[in-house]
């Protein structure tokens, strides 16, 4: 069985047509989620973590990790086909569904406007925001290394996201709307989830849980 990228591109274009970039979620956020995906056994196992935090105090309410056999290779521009199955498995276990979900990776800042945040948002019919550590496409002006600076991420003349200096002297974050969230709100909510670290709290916790980092170990000791 081989992968037909031309076919998948058509699928992405069709799905991208269904993405909505107007705010369609309750402005009163009580729970906010974060996702992260990692791999084990040389990539044979995909590990997805989803965490739900209370807002605005950011305490961990619930989290789940799902491990599935990896069925798709990593191909730039087709990341979601590799990662969404495990994310869906983790999502099914979440009881307290969040009001908003921050996804690791791009939203519409994608060649065909369907990064994993947008794709997952459609599959879950959830408001999502893409939070990526690297750029996939688009161009932007160099910005000062001081936290708080922002510049548009552009593809030709179209704004596909934002480049945000989330912390001093760190590499910037690439923020873009996923689904049911406007570009303006995407940036706004990521900023509201920043607590002195490069990554917004939901993403930071999902990353810690997925990789069993010290932040997560401390949480386990408290229980």
Partner DNA sequence: GCGACAG
Partner DNA sequence: ATCTTGTCGC
- The footprint of DNA (CB under 7 A) covers 36-39, 43, 47, 74, 76-80, 104-106, 110, 115-117, 130, 132-136, 168-169, 210-211
H helices of the chain, where?
5-16, 79-93, 116-124, 183-192, 201-210, 214-222
Dihedral class, residue 169 (left if φ above 0, else alpha if ψ from -120 to 50, else beta): left
- Rounded to whole angstroms, the Cα distance separating 90 from 66 reads 5
Q: Per the annotation, does 36 bind a ligand? A: yes
Between 61 and 117, CB nearer to DNA = 117
Strand arrangement of the beta sheet that strand 173-179 belongs to = 60-69, 45-54, 31-40, 100-104, 128-132, 173-179, 158-164, 150-155
Nearest CA-CA partner of 127 in 139, 140, 118: 118
Q: Residue 120 Cβ, how far from DNA at the closest point, in Å?
A: 10
- 125 annotated as ligand-binding: no
Nearest residue to 116 via CA among 30, 37, 38 = 37
Least Å from the CB of residue 31 to DNA: 23
Interatomic CA distance for residues 127 and 124, integer angstroms: 9
Q: Which two tokens stand for residue 210?
A: 């997925």
Q: Are 160 and 154 in contact (CB under 8 A)?
A: yes
Residue placing its CB nearer to DNA in the complex, 184 or 211: 211
Give the shortest CB-188-to-DNA separation in angstroms: 20
Q: Between 11 and 54, name the residue whose CB sits nearer to DNA.
A: 11
Closest to DNA by CB, 26 vs 168, is 168
Minimum distance between the CB of residue 80 and DNA, rounded to whole angstroms? 5
Closest distance between DNA and the C-beta of residue 130, in Å? 7
Q: Which is nearer to DNA, 96 or 212 (CB)?
A: 212
- Binding-site positions read 36, 104
- Binding-site positions for Mg(2+) read 36, 104
């Amino acid at each position: 069985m081989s992968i037909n990228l031309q076919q998948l591109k058509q699928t992405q274009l069709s799905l991208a047509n269904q993405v909505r970039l107007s705010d369609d979620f309750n402005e009163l956020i009580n729970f906010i989620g974060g996702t992260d995906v990692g791999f084990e056994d040389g990539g044979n196992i995909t590990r997805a973590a989803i965490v739900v935090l209370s807002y605005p105090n950011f305490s961990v309410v619930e989290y789940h990790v799902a491990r599935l056999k990896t069925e798709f290779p990593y191909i730039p521009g087709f990341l979601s086909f590799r990662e969404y199955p495990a994310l869906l498995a983790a999502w099914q276990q979440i009881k307290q569904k969040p009001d908003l979900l921050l996804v690791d990776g791009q939203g519409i800042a994608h060649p065909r406007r369907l990064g994993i945040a947008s794709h997952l948002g459609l599959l879950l019919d959830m408001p999502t925001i893409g939070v990526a550590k690297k750029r996939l496409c688009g161009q932007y002006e160099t910005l000062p290394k001081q936290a708080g600076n922002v510049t548009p991420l552009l593809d030709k003349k179209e704004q596909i996201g934002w480049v945000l200096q989330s912390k001093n002297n760190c590499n910037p974050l690439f923020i873009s709307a996923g689904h049911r969230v406007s570009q303006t709100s995407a940036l706004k909510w990521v900023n509201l989830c920043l607590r002195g670290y490069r990554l917004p709290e939901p993403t930071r916790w999902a990353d810690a849980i997925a990789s069993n980092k010290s932040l997560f170990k401390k949480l386990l000791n408290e229980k």
